[in-house]
Amino acid sequence: MNENKGLKKNLGVATAMATVVGCVIGSGVFFKPQAIYTVTGGAPGLGILAWVITGLASIAAALTFAEVAIMIPKTGGMVAYLEEIYSPIVGFLAGWIQTLVFYPAMISALAVAFAQQAALFVGESFMIPIAVGVIILIIFLNSLGSSVGGGVQVIFTVCKLIPLLLLMVFGFLKGGGGNAIFTPMVGEGLNPAVVLGQLMVAILFAFEGWTNVGAIAGEMKKPGRDLPIAIVGGVSVIMAVYFVINIAYLWVLPADQLASLSAPASAVALELFGEMGGKLVAVGIMISVFGACNGFVLSGSRVAYSLAATKSLPFSDTLAVLNKAQVPVNSIILVGGIGCIYAVSGRFNLLTDLAVISSWMFYTLTFIGVMKLRRDWPDAVRTYKVPLYPVVPIIAIVSGIYVIINQIFLAGIQSTLLSAGSILVTLIGIPVYRNVRKRAVLQEKKR
């Protein structure tokens, strides 16, 4: 894949790291404690430990991913990586599923989360229009230029840390601190090994999005220097924030109570600050998910643009158009528009499950690609290498395989059906790719 030349290289390490942190810290940190402590039977220990274990697995994945991203620093992220490592059709299928399923599902899920919190102020009848309106606003902002979209990302990443810091600081200052935090590990009669697997799958959603910075590498000023810092540094910051804030939650409310609350962060804020606390956190969640949603629109549109630039998608000529601000406005509209359609469902958990299921097969192929590149390109200059090779890549690969197996076979009928749907959409991409490429070849011959 030839690197796209039309995009301006005006994104620095601050925007790249903000894209990682901004895309990842969205709604999971506010909503996942309920699912976690339900799985543990109301016991806190393994729930807290799982945030660390899953964070370390994500860092292993990020360290592995960074080597591929540095060697192939092209706009499009995994599309470019997998095309170089395996074949054009593998890269296309990754971009195809990202364009149609992963990015729109994440965008719509975050918009729905935003609307659910806004409903506390304006009523539930406006929830769907608000969700769609948020996506439309973000589409407009990103059409103004990558520096505008990147600037929005930096601003909202900083803003979203404010309510998190308030909960952490005042949680420890004003919380009673008398609740159990590290013991017991799980409730009576539960198998810790089985519970840990369920916890990791739940928590992985909260870490979803750290790969997005690779999709904007082609617009970074110095990707060789900045990309590893952005990916690894961003995931490390995220893990630290998640670990500390979950201890702060337990400092205020016990795990068995958090398990019964659909909005545990709001309940903690209510305990700390009174009636205004719930509203304060609702605003914080809205800021958080808006920044995350912006990050997915910014990154997802570049995947669609990358495919269109190589004439791999239907209507590629239209989707590859750059506007006066030198951003792929039609690709932004495509990804955001599909997100608007998904948002009409109003089902946050279904959309997040769909997004996670659709992404991990290609994540794992990327991890395996590090070892393949070491074999196929032994003499290539590597400005960054995965530390502790091959241990770290193996950890990433095993984690990916576990997620895939769990989602298809162990996580319930809904997960199995969503997995089957994602696989079907992926397979549909094969004839689409062949037909589009065939037409492109015929057009070239006519010229």
pLDDT (tens digit per residue) in 106-147 = 899 889 988 888 887 887 889 999 999 999 999 998 888 766
In this structure, what CATH number is given to the domain that contains residue 436? 1.20.1740.10
End-to-end CA distance of the chain: 22
* 3-state secondary structure at position 254: coil
User: Vertex 269, ends 264 and 272: CA angle to 5°?
Assistant: 130
* Total domains present in the chain: 1
Segments in the chain below pLDDT 50: 1-4
What are the C-alpha distances in Å from 155 to residues 109, 147, 222, 292, 423? 21, 12, 22, 12, 37
Residue 411 has a pLDDT of: 64
Residue 447 belongs to a domain? no
Question: For position 98, what pLDDT does the model report?
Answer: 92
**424/428 Cα distance (integer angstroms):** 6
pLDDT score recorded for residue 148: 67
Supply the pLDDT for residue 10. 67
Tens-digit pLDDT profile for residues 276-318? 777 877 788 788 788 788 888 988 888 888 888 888 888 888 8
**pLDDT at residue 3 in the model:** 46
| pTM greater than 0.85 | no
Residue 361 lies in a domain: yes
To the nearest 5 percent, what fractions of the chain are helix, strand and coil? 80, 0, 20
Q: What whole-number distance in Å separates Cα of residue 210 and Cα of residue 65?
A: 10
Q: Is residue 410 part of a domain?
A: yes
Residue at 262 is within a domain: yes
**Is residue 445 a part of any domain in this protein?**
no
Tell the burial category of 358 from Cβ atoms under 10 Å away from its Cβ (0-12, 13-18, 19+): buried
Rounded to whole angstroms, the Cα distance separating 114 from 129 reads 11
In a domain, 6, yes or no: no
pLDDT of 26: 66
Host domain of residue 235: 13-440
* 4 within a domain of the structure (yes/no): no
Q: Would residue 159 count as lying in a domain?
A: yes
In one letter, which amino acid is 344? V
pLDDT at 418: 86
